[in-house]
Amino acid sequence: MLLIPCPWCGKRAQTEFTYRGDATVERPDLADSDSQWYDYVYTRDNPRGEHTEWWHHTGGCRKWFKVRRNTWTHEVISSEPPVRD
């Protein structure tokens, strides 16, 4: 079982969290083409190695945050709150 470090609650079991996707994908503008939206919604890489992901602490503080994780070894490298623009 993974221990995921919530930036607000500390390390917790992965059962308290929900994986919410790739945090490196940029959302297209509303005016962008259908093919750009198709790629955004359906076309995803499945990387092996270090990767940044969105997680939601559904069984705790209910906040969203980013986790840097190695998808090959499942090692959690870091976690941080989302950055507001």
Task: Name which of 46-50, 63-67, 73-77 the model is least confident about.
Answer: 46-50
The CATH code belonging to domain 3-26+34-80 is 3.30.2270.10
On the question of pLDDT at 85 being above 60, the answer is no
More confident residue, 56 or 44: 56
Name the pLDDT band for 80 (thresholds 50, 70, 90): very high
Mean pLDDT across the chain: 93
pLDDT in tens, 20-45: 999 998 899 999 999 999 999 898 88
Instruction: List the beta bridge partners of residue 56.
Output: 18, 64
pLDDT in tens, 63-73: 999 999 999 99
Place of tokens 């917790």: 12
Count Cα atoms within 13 angstroms, Cβ side, for 84.
1
Count Cα atoms within 13 angstroms, Cβ side, for 46.
1
